[in-house]
Structure 1
Amino acid sequence: MNGELIWVLCLLAVAVVLFATGKVRMDAVALLVIVAFVLSDTLTLSEAFSGFSDPNIILIAALFIIGDGLVRTGVATNMGAWLVKVAGNSETKMLVCLMLTVAGLGAFMSSTGVVAIFIPVVLSVSMRMEISPSRLMMPLSFAGLISGMMTLVATPPNLVIHSELIREGFDGFSFFSVTPIGLVVLLMGIVYMLLTRFMLKSEKQDTPGDGWKRPSFRDLIREYRLTGRARRLAIRPGSPMIGQRLDDLRLRERYGANVIGVERWRRFRRVIVNVNGVSEFRARDVLLIDMSAADVDLRQFCSEQLLEPMVLRGEYFSDQSLDVGMAEVSLIPDSELLGKTVREIAFRTRYGLNVVGLKRGGQAMDGAVVDEPLQHGDVVLVVGNWKQISLLAQNGRDFVVLNVPIEESEASPAHSQAPHAIFCLVLMVALMLTDEIPNPIAAIVACLLMGRFRCIDAESAYKAIHWPSIILIVGMMPFAHALQKTGGVDLIVRGLMDIGGQQGPYLMLGCLFVMCAVIGLFISNTATAVLMAPIALAAAKTMGVSPYPFAMVVAMAASAAFMTPVSSPVNTLVLGPGNYTFSDFMKLGIPFTVLVMVVCVLLIPVLFPF
């Protein structure tokens, strides 16, 4: 073992530790890896940055955009509505339909995005059926992971393996190469969940609202103890607030007053306009204010700012539901905003919404919450117009929308363009199946057509790309080059050969699967695929057999992240809504991972002979 290899392995160990602890962003770690390789002369500049020239990076970015187009046009949401309609009140039928739908959608868009879309659907279904969400959240998570086994473009690890095959001079996988295995695993997953979901039965049903109905504005106001805090205050002529920006007035600091909307005259009627830090007030504006501080002197506030209290009926929010919306949201597991307060996030400026309530451990917190650091599992109540809530849901970068009240407007931003979005998706798949047009070009054609049909716009397209995932893949690719260049791949392959090489390729497939599954406990499935792809192909070359079964088993193992809630963002997303513990995932995930391994080891050589 030479000094360069020791350096590469040490750098790999440091990266794994940083990934596992989560103290440094994964994309930042990936960039640090590139810097370390170049400064240490382990890799040349072109080798370290080779990931940026990989066509599959463009393909992955395009797939993020296509997935966002399906959300903006309401295709994904309509699938959820169809699911509720078809399943009725049968829990078994719901579980089967849920897993089939999520796996089907996840075959063409981000599994994390699909699961985020279906979390509020599952919560709503659970309320209607009067069952615990835990009975359906785990199947939702498993289906999201299995969706990565359905098509070549379903998950980045598949594309990483495909790229490595091409780089080594082999033909890559076709669009549906992984599908037969994925279908078998999906069928097995459905049966497995039907038999084991009773192990997840919870005595307490932690679902919002009463009965089976979605909560109304009134329900949310009651649950978050907002009753009596809302005020309507008209700005009188001569008020010092006229012409002033909201941030400059510092109403929260001075009076504990949180402006969540402004009624303004437009075309002979009052409408609610959204506010942010730079909004300026006018005479005759009516402020909708949340007075969260208990010691506020409303009379003094109105006197100093020349405001006139107005009537606020209990039905006010329902009457204004076309303009004013509410939603319960939660931070995604890997968000950089964890540990920060609402004020530090500048939530109103960043998202155009106001935070008016916070639940922790299922209990609403009293008083102002803007200075409370956000934690895992916190549920935040936001108020603003429906468009901003919709943008927050579509973004998916930091928050997932868990629940919206019954007053929600069901129109998507580009609802009328849904047929065009489906056409673009079908066209992309058809072009990929011809093998005449490279996959990245087919995806770019679909993106351009979605833009032409107004399914997406340029701004939403760029926001849809999950840049941390892109940078993570690009930054981890140099490890494969470095391990090959320094002899690390040969060393690992020799170790695998000593363990299972003499027992035949079947045992080697099992060893590769176990190795991927163990590594996947600490780092992302994409990083696992980047590291294991060259090892798998080198092992096949050493044994003198076809590389395809070895490459395929790595792709399948990378998606089989069922064992812990931190193995995949998909699992972490359902941890809170499903009220799961770490042991719940181990209890169901470990046996299912073993079953998937057995299926892969037996089935892959049949489809891809040695």
Structure 2
Amino acid sequence: MQTDQILILAILAATVAMFLWGRWRHDLVAGASLMACVGVGVVAPEHAFAGFGHPAVITVACVLVLSRGLQTSGAVDALARVALPDKAGPMLSIAALTGLAALLSGFMNNVGALALLMPVALQIARKRKLAPGQVLMPLAFGSILGGMTTLIGTPPNLIVSGFRASNGQAPFSMFDFSPVGVAVAAAGVLLIAIGGWKLVPVRREAAAEGFDPGAYLTEVRVPEGSRAVGKTLAEIEQSLDRHEAQVLGMVQSEFRVHAPHPSRVVRAGDVLVIEADADTLSELLSGLGLKLEEDVPPAGDDEAKQAQADDRSGAAATAQGPQARAPAADGSHAGDTVDGSEPAGGPEKRKDDDRRTPHADIILQEIAVRPGSGLAGRSATELDLRTRYSINVLAISRAGRRSLERLRSQPFEEGDLLLVQGTQDAISGFAAQFGAVPLAERALRIPDRRKAITATLVLALAIAATAFGLLPAAVAFALGVVASMALRTVPPREVYEAIDWPVIVLLAALIPVAGAMESTGTADLLARGLFESVARGQPVLGLVLVMVVTMTLSDLMNNAATAAVMCPIAVGAANTLGVNADPYLMAVAIGASCAFLTPIGHQNNTLILGPGGFRFGDYWRLGVPVQLLVLVVSIPLLLRFWPL
């Protein structure tokens, strides 16, 4: 064994030990490992940071951004309603989600499949009161398993097929991998769904909010085309039950109804007064096709008409300023901010300021009305919040008490929590002026059908470009990010916030380390040594060993690199034993796709590291049973469909 091979093995062993110890953050350990490799000379200094430009790193970052677009536009809510059971328990929900991920991964990039379903997984976790990781890890593993089923499912399959062709044989066809791959994927999904998900360590996201503000009182408008139109209040209440929300009142034909009868039919234009938790508002809005009253354009076309309507309903205008504006070609209104708020200074100032206020600057934030605040005893109408402060009040949380007044005319009280919408500067300035306390910024998704369709189309095109080989995955997804920013499905200020930078540093730092294992011949040395000392001329035992070694390497280095290293070893072993090389190559393909023990073995494992709140050593608890199952199921099937 050469000196550089001893050095890289020592560094790798120390790195894995530090990961498992968990004392230091994973990106710090990865960076230290890279610097150690540079220090001992196994990684050239000029190549030390090449990992930051690696396609895998770019793909992970872009997928995170595109996933944010699906979340904020409401596309995820629609997908969850269509594809997943609504009232199923955790087992059935996880089974449906994992199975869908496996199916999609067979025909598209498995990173893209995970990106599409990861926000849905987070919704399921919240609804079923599970830790995010208990759904995210089954999803990631399902997407990896699904890649085994077709030629284009994962890069190792393409590498194995190409290696077979380079040896003078025909490359594997699209569905040559399916007889074994489908059975293995199905068995893995079944194991995960039946009880494997319970093995996932329960971790909570570090960024989770530390308080529960309770239920908010808010108003929602029933627009034309809403699924609530024509339903009775009793039917709507049934839909709201799963969101733990309820209707407290309504405004119909400009008259307030404080205790509406359950048989009353809801019509377009009605306003429902709903009590709901802030975290469920977006699902509620998306599920019934409702709109927050503050976001609904006025029906009138001048200030007088709007004022008359306000007087009849007993409140001031909520959604927009006094002037209606003709929609532009893109459906927006000239001079609108994203929330329709009025900047201070009146209509003249509004026309200039709104054009300068990018959509990305609008946020949702909670503010508390503290004792002695200038807000106490005054309403949004009295303060003229929209015109003077460019702020909308979307909801009020008042502990233990309700009011039957319209939201905009309801006086604030000390201790109230207000969910407000506006720019960060506007909200901060308003809170400081009136002695209120800004709290958490809320990630409330207000559904936008146009943006949801656009975000879905952008991701679908990126996946299609990758699946059909038109563009490399990194380029296709990067173009998707550019398109998302240009089309405003992902606000520019959220692009960098959507990326989990510690995960990016982890992946970028370890790519050169894995490359050093390959370039120094260490991976090849380990694989050949194990085969010669253990297999000893037994073809079936050799087949098992090829798969086990491939699985092990795939947990520590890139799966494509693992396949490239193991293909010549597998063929050489088959030739030495005088048996058919095809089952050995298939064993490499399956083993290279079995990176279930670490977050660095596969991009999908890396993607869920941050959102799941995982530690480096959390993966093996579910990963070991899955890998053992893959081994037990695949070996007999390989011998059946690819005889030695």
TM-score by length of 1: 0.55
Matches within 5 A, 1:4-23: 4-23=4-23
| Alignment match, 2:254 | none
- Output the CA distance in 2 between the equivalents of 1:36 and 1:553: 32
In the TM superposition, what is the alpha-carbon distance from 1:492 to its structure 2 partner?
A: 0.5
Does the Cα contact within 8 Å between 2:61 and 2:504 map onto a contact in 1? yes
Q: Give the counterpart of 1:389 among 434, 437, 442.
A: 442
Does the Cα contact within 8 Å between 1:181 and 1:604 map onto a contact in 2? yes
Q: Give the counterpart of 1:147 among 127, 143, 149.
A: 143
| Alignment match, 1:540 | 570
- Output the CA distance in 2 between the equivalents of 1:461 and 1:168: 42
| Alignment match, 1:421 | 455
C-alpha RMSD of the superposition: 5.6
- Output the CA distance in 2 between the equivalents of 1:608 and 1:20: 38
| Alignment match, 2:385 | 266
- Output the CA distance in 2 between the equivalents of 1:88 and 1:5: 55
| Alignment match, 1:411 | 446
In the TM superposition, what is the alpha-carbon distance from 1:12 to its structure 2 partner?
A: 1.2
Matches within 5 A, 1:357-396: 384=439, 388-390=441-443
Does the Cα contact within 8 Å between 1:8 and 1:482 map onto a contact in 2? yes
| Alignment match, 2:97 | 98
Does the Cα contact within 8 Å between 1:160 and 1:530 map onto a contact in 2? yes
| Alignment match, 2:506 | 472
In the TM superposition, what is the alpha-carbon distance from 1:15 to its structure 2 partner?
A: 0.9
Does the Cα contact within 8 Å between 1:26 and 1:468 map onto a contact in 2? yes
Given residue 589 of structure 2, which amino acid in structure 1 is its aligned partner?
M
- Output the CA distance in 2 between the equivalents of 1:270 and 1:416: 29
What does the per-residue CA deviation read over 1:100-151, in whole Å, with 9 as the maximum and x for residues that have no partner?
A: 345567844484995565344344246xxxxxx59x9856632331112334
What does the per-residue CA deviation read over 1:39-76, in whole Å, with 9 as the maximum and x for residues that have no partner?
A: 32333234444434544433333333332322232222
In the TM superposition, what is the alpha-carbon distance from 1:16 to its structure 2 partner?
A: 1.0
| Alignment match, 1:37 | 37
| Alignment match, 1:312 | 413
Select the structure of larger CA radius of gyration: 2
What does the per-residue CA deviation read over 1:11-56, in whole Å, with 9 as the maximum and x for residues that have no partner?
A: 1111111111122332233332332233323332344444345444
Are the structure 2 counterparts of residues 574 and 606 from structure 1 closer, same or farther at C-alpha, using a change threshold of 3 Å? farther
Does the Cα contact within 8 Å between 2:62 and 2:478 map onto a contact in 1? yes
Does the Cα contact within 8 Å between 2:121 and 2:135 map onto a contact in 1? no
Matches within 5 A, 1:106-117: 107-109=110-112, 111=114, 114-115=117-118, 117=120
In the TM superposition, what is the alpha-carbon distance from 1:97 to its structure 2 partner?
A: 2.8
Gaps of 5+ in 1: 127-132, 201-207, 222-228, 238-260, 275-286, 291-309, 325-347, 353-381, 391-408, 577-581
What does the per-residue CA deviation read over 1:221-257, in whole Å, with 9 as the maximum and x for residues that have no partner?
A: 9xxxxxxx975445569xxxxxxxxxxxxxxxxxxxx
Are the structure 2 counterparts of residues 585 and 7 from structure 1 closer, same or farther at C-alpha, using a change threshold of 3 Å? closer
| Alignment match, 1:124 | 127
Are the structure 2 counterparts of residues 214 and 111 from structure 1 closer, same or farther at C-alpha, using a change threshold of 3 Å? same
In the TM superposition, what is the alpha-carbon distance from 1:214 to its structure 2 partner?
A: 4.1
Are the structure 2 counterparts of residues 10 and 555 from structure 1 closer, same or farther at C-alpha, using a change threshold of 3 Å? same
Does the Cα contact within 8 Å between 1:112 and 1:570 map onto a contact in 2? no
| Alignment match, 2:592 | 555
Matches within 5 A, 1:456-495: 456-495=490-529
Matched-pair identity in %: 20
Are the structure 2 counterparts of residues 608 and 91 from structure 1 closer, same or farther at C-alpha, using a change threshold of 3 Å? same
| Alignment match, 1:511 | 545
Does the Cα contact within 8 Å between 1:556 and 1:600 map onto a contact in 2? no
TM-score by length of 2: 0.53
Given residue 389 of structure 1, which amino acid in structure 2 is its aligned partner?
R
Does the Cα contact within 8 Å between 1:145 and 1:570 map onto a contact in 2? no
Does the Cα contact within 8 Å between 1:149 and 1:178 map onto a contact in 2? no
In the TM superposition, what is the alpha-carbon distance from 1:557 to its structure 2 partner?
A: 1.4
Given residue 97 of structure 2, which amino acid in structure 1 is its aligned partner?
L
- Output the CA distance in 2 between the equivalents of 1:69 and 1:176: 33
Are the structure 2 counterparts of residues 389 and 599 from structure 1 closer, same or farther at C-alpha, using a change threshold of 3 Å? farther
What does the per-residue CA deviation read over 1:160-214, in whole Å, with 9 as the maximum and x for residues that have no partner?
A: 89789999997999999988766544432444356558999xxxxxxx9999754
- Output the CA distance in 2 between the equivalents of 1:75 and 1:541: 47
- Output the CA distance in 2 between the equivalents of 1:535 and 1:40: 24
Given residue 539 of structure 1, which amino acid in structure 2 is its aligned partner?
I
In the TM superposition, what is the alpha-carbon distance from 1:497 to its structure 2 partner?
A: 1.4
Are the structure 2 counterparts of residues 508 and 561 from structure 1 closer, same or farther at C-alpha, using a change threshold of 3 Å? farther
Does the Cα contact within 8 Å between 2:73 and 2:489 map onto a contact in 1? yes
| Alignment match, 2:474 | 440
- Output the CA distance in 1 between the equivalents of 2:172 and 2:64: 21
| Alignment match, 1:242 | none
What does the per-residue CA deviation read over 1:555-593, in whole Å, with 9 as the maximum and x for residues that have no partner?
A: 32104679xxxx9885997799xxxxx9x985x765443
The alignment partner of 1:464 has SS state of coil
What does the per-residue CA deviation read over 1:277-299, in whole Å, with 9 as the maximum and x for residues that have no partner?
A: xxxxxxxxxx9999xxxxxxxxx
In the TM superposition, what is the alpha-carbon distance from 1:484 to its structure 2 partner?
A: 4.0
The alignment partner of 1:558 has SS state of coil
Are the structure 2 counterparts of residues 6 and 169 from structure 1 closer, same or farther at C-alpha, using a change threshold of 3 Å? farther
- Output the CA distance in 2 between the equivalents of 1:528 and 1:492: 16
In the TM superposition, what is the alpha-carbon distance from 1:87 to its structure 2 partner?
A: 3.9
Does the Cα contact within 8 Å between 1:47 and 1:481 map onto a contact in 2? no
| Alignment match, 2:344 | none
Between the two proteins, the alignment pairs up a number of residues equal to 440
| Alignment match, 1:306 | none
Matches within 5 A, 1:163-202: 183-192=182-191, 195-196=194-195
In the TM superposition, what is the alpha-carbon distance from 1:516 to its structure 2 partner?
A: 6.2
Gaps of 5+ in 2: 200-211, 216-239, 246-273, 279-366, 400-410, 429-436, 576-580, 600-604
Does the Cα contact within 8 Å between 2:133 and 2:612 map onto a contact in 1? yes
Does the Cα contact within 8 Å between 2:500 and 2:610 map onto a contact in 1? no
What does the per-residue CA deviation read over 1:462-506, in whole Å, with 9 as the maximum and x for residues that have no partner?
A: 333333333323322333443344442343123221245445665
- Output the CA distance in 2 between the equivalents of 1:526 and 1:512: 16
| Alignment match, 1:359 | none
What does the per-residue CA deviation read over 1:287-342, in whole Å, with 9 as the maximum and x for residues that have no partner?
A: 9999xxxxxxxxxxxxxxxxxxx96289x55xx55659xxxxxxxxxxxxxxxxxx
- Output the CA distance in 2 between the equivalents of 1:438 and 1:573: 26
Given residue 458 of structure 1, which amino acid in structure 2 is its aligned partner?
P
The worse-fitting range, judged by mean Cα deviation, of 44-53 and 105-114 is: 105-114
Given residue 11 of structure 1, which amino acid in structure 2 is its aligned partner?
I
Given residue 143 of structure 1, which amino acid in structure 2 is its aligned partner?
L
Are the structure 2 counterparts of residues 572 and 502 from structure 1 closer, same or farther at C-alpha, using a change threshold of 3 Å? farther
Does the Cα contact within 8 Å between 1:5 and 1:486 map onto a contact in 2? yes
In the TM superposition, what is the alpha-carbon distance from 1:595 to its structure 2 partner?
A: 1.6
Does the Cα contact within 8 Å between 1:111 and 1:145 map onto a contact in 2? no
Given residue 522 of structure 2, which amino acid in structure 1 is its aligned partner?
G
